[in-house]
Amino acid sequence: MTNVHDNILGLIGNTPLVKLNEVTKEIPATVYAKLESFNPGHSTKDRIAIHIIEAAERKGLLKPGSTVVETTSGNTGFSIAMVCIIKGYHCILAVSDKTKKEKIAYLKALGATVYICPANVAADDPRSYYEVAKRVASETPDSIYINQYFNELNIDAHYRTTGPEIWEQTEGKITHLIACTGTGGTLSGSAKFLKEKNPAIKVIGVDASGSILKSYHETGEIHKEDIHPYQIEGMGKNLIPSALLFDKIDEFVRVNDEMAAYRTREIALKEAIMGGYTTGAVTQGLLQYANSHEFTKDDLVVVIFPDHGSRYITKVYSDEWMAEQGFVNNGVHNYDEVYKTELIK
C-alpha cells in the first residue's frame, strides 16, 4: 500500500513547491512558494510540534496523561493540540486577544484549554501570553512548556526537514530564501541548512511594521519606539527570540498591515492559493526586496507560505474587516473593482 499512514501525524512534512506566475510577473527570477498549508494541521508549525514533543518523550518528560503548555498566535496551538490528541496528552494554550474567534474555536474543538491574554502589554507583563504560559506550566503537575521562542529544537525541526526539502526540491539551485519571522525557527533552521550547502544563498527575513526584529538585526539594539500595535498574526515580535539566528539572515524587509492584506487577497485571486495573512506579508516582502535588488533570470527564489487562508476568513478575507481597517479605495488598489460582491434584490 502507498500513501497510507497509521495516523494523521504521518502527513507532516514533504510539502510541495508551487511556481508563482502572476503576482511575480515583474520579477525576472523564478519564484516558488513552499506551501506549508499541505501539512495536516495546515501550517509549518506541525513540524516543530511533533519534533519538540517527541524529543520530550525520548527524555522521559512526557507520558500518557501529561500536559503540554505553550504560547501561540494560533498555528502552533493547532499543531500541538493535534499531536496531543494522537499521543494522549492534555493541551493548555495561552493566546493573545488579537487572535480571532474562529481560531480560538478551532483550538477548543481540538480539546485545548485556552487562556486569552492582552496583546498590547510588555512581554514581561504578568498578563502577557508568555508569562501566563510560564505560570500555568509551573503550576500544572506533570507538564512541559514548549517555549517555542527560546527552544533550540524549534530551529532543529526546520534544519532537519524544511531546509533539506527545499534543497532537494530545487536540486540545489536555490539562490534566495524569503520567509516571515515570528519565533524565527522556520527561517533560521532552513537557512542554517541551506547556507551549509551553499553560503552564497541569500536569506531574507520579513518583519512586521510594529516589530523590533529588523532594527535589532541592523543595530544589535532594541528600539522600543518601533513597537506599536499591528494586525498580522504570528509575525514580528516585541522581544528577541533565541530561536531567531540573526547571523543566518542577510537582510530584513519590513511590511505593513495594509499591503500584506492586499497581497494576501491578490494571491488568492491571481494564483488561486488561499494563504494566510503572512502569505501576503512574505510576498509583499519579496516585491519590496525586488525593488531594491537586481534579480536575474537565473535566480531561483523560494518563499515560504506558512499557513492556510481558512483561518482568516473573518479577517483579511472579509470585506467588512478590510473596510474597518480603512483598506479601501486609497489609491493602492481599487477595492471596488477587484473584490466584487453582487447583491440580488
Positions annotated as catalytic residues are 45
Residue 29, C-beta contacts closer than 8 angstroms, at least 6 positions apart: 175, 176, 290, 295, 296, 297, 298, 299, 300, 301
Neighbouring-strand partners of residue 67: 90, 143
* Amino acid in position 253: V
315/91 Cα distance (integer angstroms): 26
Q: Cβ distance 262 to 317 under 8 Å?
A: no
> Which residue shows C-alpha cell 527561517?
187
Torsion of CA 323, 325, 328, 331, to 10 degrees: 170
